[in-house]
């Protein structure tokens, strides 16, 4: 049954690729999403935004040449001052929302062949934060990716490995060792983009030694026209442990996000998602509708303002899974310019979470977080 669902979701993309033909081209002023959907909680775009957040000077990017340029290597280092990372929620699989790392180092090596039809990337990242538990594994992330672009199609496969205690630049903390594998294919029909992807993630609990395995299939449609963009994402997943007779959870999710750009300096992004999940053992079902909106403003050339608000409510046949979560966040990113140290940027981020649940075992995590981050390129 599960295999049929995977095939159905994935083949939506393959059938549409065969049935559709290119239509009108996209205009150059199309609105773009500030936080595009990802198959896994961690996205490679997090580190890419860090590299592109401020202009990279020549000495932070260099190439090793053997005849023609063979390998390009980029190094990025950031430091920040903010709340203690020990305030994280800890046991929430697979990740928990925390302040960003106190120190973050990223090394990316890439090589492109056949005019971009085959690109290889190897990445190693290290994060250090106050109170991080380094007894089990090094808080690092390694990634290997093969991808390419051929005319209107792009494709690829990726493998990522996370050590216990790693914290991404987006604030995702990995409490347990985790591996992720993903393959995708995408085609640009000019008016819209169609993407299908398959993924698998495994996570081993440091406390119990149990291995949790999640398989996911997803298909997305992204439409652009003038100052409008729309993204529809449908996914199916199955999560279970390696123990015989253990419970398995299946989930089906549909989401619609819209980005509207009424002016050159303002983007409005509303979104709605409905997720359904059920237990294979008990048969109990949980429905979680959620909605949110984001405002992204670039009134000044070197200053970016972002505000977000979202609310999710869980309705379940299991009373212990009745939950509600409200989140609001605001951030300011200010490019300071270049000094003798290199290009610098300063960011201020504030976030408030309020969660209610029916479980008497653990109180829901709620509270306010603030952070100041200083970025430097050119060390």
What is the C-alpha to C-alpha distance for residues 231 and 219, in angstroms, rounded to an integer?
11
Q: What is the mean pLDDT of residues 138-142?
A: 88
| For residue 289, pLDDT beyond 80 | yes
What is the C-alpha to C-alpha distance for residues 26 and 24, in angstroms, rounded to an integer?
7
Non-local CB neighbours of 120 within 8 Å, separated by 6+ positions: 110, 111, 112, 113, 145, 146
DSSP 245: T
Q: Report, in this order, helix, strand and coil percent for the chain, each rounded to 5.
A: 10, 60, 30
Backbone angles phi, psi at 237, to 5 degrees: -140, 155
Q: What is the mean pLDDT of residues 334-354?
A: 83
Are residues 228 and 33 in contact, defined by beta-carbon separation less than 8 angstroms?
no
Lowest mean pLDDT among 60-69, 70-79, 279-288, 368-377: 60-69
How far is Cα of residue 146 from the mean position of the Cα atoms in its chain?
19
Q: What is the mean pLDDT of residues 307-311?
A: 94
How many Cα atoms sit within 13 Å of 71 on the Cβ side?
10
The CATH code that applies to domain 2-377 is 2.40.160
Q: What is the mean pLDDT of residues 97-109?
A: 70
Are residues 129 and 101 in contact, defined by beta-carbon separation less than 8 angstroms?
yes
Instruction: Give the pLDDT confidence score for residue 296 in this predicted structure.
Output: 92
Instruction: For the chain, give every domain's residue range.
Output: 2-377
Instruction: Give the pLDDT confidence score for residue 365 in this predicted structure.
Output: 65
Q: Place 14 in a pLDDT band, splitting at 50, 70 and 90.
A: very low
What is the C-alpha to C-alpha distance for residues 348 and 375, in angstroms, rounded to an integer?
12
Q: What is the mean pLDDT of residues 177-199?
A: 93
Question: Which of helix, strand or coil describes residue 4?
Answer: helix
Instruction: Give the pLDDT confidence score for residue 277 in this predicted structure.
Output: 92
Lowest mean pLDDT among 68-72, 255-259, 375-379: 375-379
Backbone angles phi, psi at 248, to 5 degrees: -120, 140
How far is Cα of residue 163 from the mean position of the Cα atoms in its chain?
17
For 110, 125, 143, 183, 216, the CA distances from 163, given in Å and listed in that order, are 22, 10, 12, 22, 22
Q: What is the mean pLDDT of residues 95-122?
A: 77
**pTM here?**
0.66
Whole-number CA gyration radius for the chain? 21
Instruction: Give the pLDDT confidence score for residue 98 in this predicted structure.
Output: 45
Q: What is the mean pLDDT of residues 341-352?
A: 83
Which has the closest alpha carbon to 79: 97, 101, 59?
Answer: 101
- Highest mean pLDDT among 86-95, 101-110, 288-297, 334-343 belongs to 288-297
What is the C-alpha to C-alpha distance for residues 153 and 347, in angstroms, rounded to an integer?
36
DSSP 151: T
Pairing of strands 69-81, 61-65: antiparallel
| For residue 91, pLDDT beyond 80 | no
27 vs 133, more confident: 133
Are residues 282 and 253 in contact, defined by beta-carbon separation less than 8 angstroms?
no
What is the C-alpha to C-alpha distance for residues 181 and 168, in angstroms, rounded to an integer?
18
What is the C-alpha to C-alpha distance for residues 373 and 331, in angstroms, rounded to an integer?
11
Report the b/e string of 292-317 with b at 16+ CB within 10 A: bebebebeeeeebbbebebebebebe
Token pair recorded at residue 85: 């990372």
Non-local CB neighbours of 75 within 8 Å, separated by 6+ positions: 60, 61, 105, 106, 107, 108, 379
How far is Cα of residue 205 from the mean position of the Cα atoms in its chain?
22
Lowest mean pLDDT among 199-208, 252-261, 266-275: 199-208
For the chain, how far is it from start to end, CA to CA, in angstroms?
Answer: 54
Instruction: Give the pLDDT confidence score for residue 187 in this predicted structure.
Output: 95
Non-local CB neighbours of 99 within 8 Å, separated by 6+ positions: 82, 83, 84, 85, 87, 88, 129, 171, 369, 371
Percentage, residues of the chain above pLDDT 70: 68
| Chain mean pLDDT for the chain | 76
Q: Place 268 in a pLDDT band, splitting at 50, 70 and 90.
A: very high
């Amino acid at each position: 049954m599960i295999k049929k669902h995977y095939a159905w979701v994935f083949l939506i993309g393959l059938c549409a690729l065969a049935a559709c033909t290119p239509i009108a081209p996209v205009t150059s002023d199309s609105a773009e999403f500030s936080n595009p959907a990802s198959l896994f909680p961690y996205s490679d775009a997090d580190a890419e935004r860090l590299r592109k957040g401020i202009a990279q000077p020549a000495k932070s990017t260099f190439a090793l040449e053997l005849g023609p340029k063979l390998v390009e290597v980029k190094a990025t280092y950031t430091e920040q001052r903010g709340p203690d990372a020990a305030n994280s929620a800890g046991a929430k699989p697979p990740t928990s929302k925390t302040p960003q790392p106190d120190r973050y180092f990223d090394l990316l090596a890439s090589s492109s062949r056949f005019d971009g039809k085959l690109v290889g990337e190897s990445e190693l990242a290290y994060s250090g934060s106050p109170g991080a538990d380094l007894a089990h594994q090094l808080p690092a992330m390694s990634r290997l990716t093969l991808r390419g672009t051929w005319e209107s199609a792009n494709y690829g496969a990726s493998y990522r490995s996370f050590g216990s205690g790693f914290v991404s630049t987006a604030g995702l903390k990995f409490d347990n060792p985790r591996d992720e594998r993903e393959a995708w294919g995408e085609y640009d029909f000019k008016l819209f983009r169609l993407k299908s992807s398959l993924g698998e993630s495994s996570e081993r609990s440091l406390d119990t030694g149990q291995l949790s395995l999640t398989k996911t299939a997803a298909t997305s449609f992204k439409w652009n026209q003038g100052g409008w963009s729309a993204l529809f994402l449908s996914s199916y997943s199955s999560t279970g442990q390696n123990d015989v007779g253990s419970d398995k959870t299946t989930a089906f999710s549909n989401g619609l996000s819209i980005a509207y750009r009424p002016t050159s300096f303002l983007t409005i992004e509303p979104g709605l998602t409905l997720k359904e999940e059920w237990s294979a053992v008990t048969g109990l079902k949980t429905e979680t509708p959620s909605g949110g909106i984001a405002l992204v403003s670039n009134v000044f050339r070197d200053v970016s303002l972002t505000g977000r608000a979202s609310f999710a409510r869980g309705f379940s046949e299991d009373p212990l899974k009745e939950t509600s979560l409200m989140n609001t966040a605001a951030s300011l990113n200010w490019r300071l310019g270049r000094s003798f140290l290199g290009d610098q940027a300063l960011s201020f981020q504030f976030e408030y979470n309020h969660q209610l649940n029916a479980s008497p075992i653990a109180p829901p995590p709620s509270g306010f977080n603030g952070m100041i981050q200083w970025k430097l390129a050119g060390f």
